[in-house]
Homo-oligomer: A and B are copies of this chain.
Amino acid sequence: MPVTLDATAADFETAFDKLLNAKREDSPDVDAVVAEIIADVRARGDAAVIELSAKFDRVTLNPDTLRISAAEVDAAVAEVSPEDRKALELAADRIRAYHARQLPEDAEWTDPDGATLGWRWTPVSAAGLYVPGGLASYPSSVLMNAIPAKVAGVERLAMVVPTPDGVLNPLVLLAARIAGVDEIYRIGGAQAVAALAYGTATIPPVDKITGPGNAFVAAAKRRVFGKVGIDMIAGPSEILVIADGDNDPDFIALDLLSQAEHDESAQSILITTDPAFGQAVEEAVEKRLLTLERRAIAGVSWRDNGAIITVPDLDAAAALSNRIAPEHLELCVADPQALSAKITHAGAIFLGQWTPEAIGDYVGGPNHVLPTARSARFSSGLSVLDFMKRTTLAQMSPEALRAIGPSAERLAQSESLEAHGLSVTARLRKLNT
């Protein structure tokens, strides 16, 4: 049974805090193993990657077969049905169109003192995309990571995907091709992250690594951070649905279950102004859990981490939502725009009853890589900006230096940084002679 809370009850704050701070995930401590793997790849390069792939993925590789050839990709993607291909292409087109609008603008202006200032955005030169193997190998994730990189202008996009027992995933390879991935290596785990970060004889290093992975991959990303950039370390998926009584309980039940089916640690929460509706959703969830393919996983998630919270009004719902800072937020209410305006922290908002969260996972257009574990308080979903960086620009005219240089001299002196001040003083002296 999920937790059922009433926001007007006397003990609500205690119970809500418990829900907010519950640690859902047990992260195994794999840091020592991962440190060894990274050191091994740095020391022995391809040889280490090949040995570790034999050990973990049961594949026999050599430097010539680390990379999946264009011919292999051709052969694999030929197996994909026209319907699946069409769906992937529609998704890619929509994701590309959305992300193209994120391209930031450069700026340059001259201020009244005569200083020309501005900034310029440039893409990361080379990025690496981690794609998990096996069941968690999602073609949609390939699109969501690769398309923003390519829209940003990343010249070289290298993907790694383990192939346990040598099995290629045709849809993943097709997604990579549609998204414009430049190189694909059949490796995974911490060894793949190390190879991308430090390079081997066969795999040139990249500057930034994104993409989901298991505990080993997450630990490896944390370790190589600094040498390369990384995206966030994603936790288990979450959904918060705010719904009034005027909804189909089965729609909402399925939306809650579509996060619950990801992972036993996933969390699905309903906040409703209508206790009877909350009850109806709970019944609808139980009914769906009788037949759902992934009912074992979804059932554990719902019972251990699910919650139904009744609130007196939508303002109270928004306030609780902002404290949760959910990864995914559905607003199934009569005026979703009005409610949306009250939301200050959320990864992605889905407005109205015709926008199930799953639309956003695949074809909506916005990215599905979103901040989990309340980190929407301070971070955003993956975007084109994650594959770009900004260089600031400043050029002083002699007049500008005359106008603002003395203040720089003064501040340098107050910070006891003499050379800083002298670098201005020497120039002012020349200007004034």
**Interface positions of A (Cβ within 8 A of B):** 83-84, 86-88, 90-91, 94, 97-98, 101-102, 107, 109, 111, 115-117, 119-120, 122, 124-125, 135, 138-140, 171, 207-208, 226, 228-229, 233, 248, 250-251, 254-255, 257-258, 260-262, 288, 292-294, 298, 336, 340, 343-367, 370-371, 373, 375-381, 383, 385, 389-398, 400-401, 404-408, 410-412, 414-424, 426-427, 430-431
Contacts and interface: CB of A to CB of B under 8 A. Distances in A.
A364 B117 contact: yes
B391 A349 contact: yes
Contacts of A415: 138-140
Given A391-B346, A396-B354, A423 B254 contact: yes
B345 A122 contact: yes
Contact of A255 (B371, B423, B431): B423
Nearest to A365: B117
A231 to B, nearest CB: 11
Nearest to A122: B344
B229 A375 contact: yes
A389 B394 contact: no
Contact of A418 (B102, B248, B292, B344): B292
A392 B382 CA distance: 10
A385 B104 CA distance: 12
A408 B258 CA distance: 13
A386 to B, nearest CB: 9
A336 B258 contact: no
7 contacts: A83-B410, A86-B407, A87-B411, A117-B364, A140-B415, A362-B411, A367-B392
A428 to B, nearest CB: 10
Contact of A251 (B258, B381, B410, B427): B427
B351 A417 contact: no
Q: Which of A86, A119, A346 has the most CB of B within 10 A?
A: A119
Contacts of A83: 410
A424 B358 contact: yes
A359 B428 CA distance: 12
Contacts of A400: 354
Contacts of A340: 120, 393
A420 B258 contact: yes
A411 B91 contact: yes
Contacts of A345: 122, 125, 389, 391
Closest 8 pairs between A and B when the two form their complex, measured CB to CB:
A229-B378, A366-B392, A351-B395, A254-B423, A87-B407, A87-B410, A358-B420, A356-B423
A134 to B, nearest CB: 11
A109 to B, nearest CB: 8
Given A254-B423, A261-B419, A393 B351 contact: yes
Q: Which of A254, A354, A379 has the most CB of B within 10 A?
A: A354
Contacts of A115: 364-365
Contacts of A120: 340
Nearest to A378: B229
A401 B120 CA distance: 39
Contacts of A119: 102, 366
Given A84-B411, A292-B419, A349-B394, 13 more contacts: A124-B378, A207-B377, A228-B378, A229-B378, A254-B423, A258-B423, A294-B418, A340-B393, A351-B393, A352-B396, A355-B396, A361-B420, A377-B389
Contacts of A250: 426
Contact of A350 (B171, B395, B397): B395
Contacts of A385: 385
